[in-house]
Homo-oligomer: A and B are copies of this chain.
Amino acid sequence: MSDAYPKPDVSVDVVLLTLVEGKLHVALHVRTKRPDKGTLALPGGQVHVDDDDEVDLEATAYRVLREKVGLVPRYLEQLRTFSGRERDPTRGFTVSISHVALIPYEELKAVGDGVFHFYSVDDLPRLAFDHAAQVSEAVQRLRNKASYSTLPCWLLPEAFTLTQLQVVYEQIFGETVKRGTFRSRLGIKVQDVRPGEAVDEAEILVATDQFQGGKQRPARLFKVNRLSLFRRAFW
């Protein structure tokens, strides 16, 4: 009965975001097949419904990143499902479950396969299909969640200083913030916290026993426990 209807094509796309030199960038590659051959596109792929390891579409997204970019993202979430018969006229009605992934650029540099390159999200060329809309919505989602959560932590290495974290927030929003204000928002009193303990009662950040020293007073390194939401928005 349910097989009476022809099925639409189902694929998964991933908007992989990272910070390069202080600006948000997205991973794109040049399509080698038609349609839109020669145009920049997001990593994506079909669902392997016969592969027992592919338990759901999230597993598909992880496989796409593993096969095409060569790594496991520290953060991945479903963005939205894009659909319609105009997305790819050669295939008719198609459905694409779009995802957002965040990876620190250090990890991406280490892989560096040369197939994917990073483009500033504020200065994109023409993209294939509706991929420009997907990037746009992914950046919106990141900006929005950044205003009330610890999501930007996943654009940094596992351990980071509070100043590094503040800079990431500022870069995402394009606005500066006073250091005192930033820290009081996190509810942080760094000095009377022991390594391994959470910095605040909400357990947003965990202090490590490591410090990052440059040519001045060293800064304590922190880790993020899990994605935490703030009671009040930042900006």
Give chain A's interface residues, CB within 8 Å of chain B.
1-2, 5-10, 33, 46-50, 54-58, 78, 80-81, 83-86, 91-93, 95, 97, 148, 231-233
Q: Taking CB as reference atom, which chain B residue is nearest A84? A: B56
Give the CA-CA distance A233 to B234 in the complex, in Å.
Answer: 11
Q: Which of A78, A91, A92, A95 counts the most chain B CB atoms within 10 A?
A: A95
A10-B95 contact given A48-B5, A57-B81, A81-B81, CB 8 Å threshold = yes
For residue A49, which residues in chain B have a CB less than 8 angstroms away from its CB? 5-8, 85, 92-93
Q: Which residues on B sit within 8 Å (CB–CB) of A5?
A: 46-50
**Residue from the list B6, B46, B148 in contact with A2, Cβ < 8 A:** B46
User: Which residues of chain B come closer than 8 Å to A55, judged between CB atoms?
Assistant: 84-86
Chain B residues lying within 8 Å of A84, measured Cβ to Cβ, are 55-57
Whole-angstrom distance between the Cβ of A79 and the nearest chain B Cβ: 10
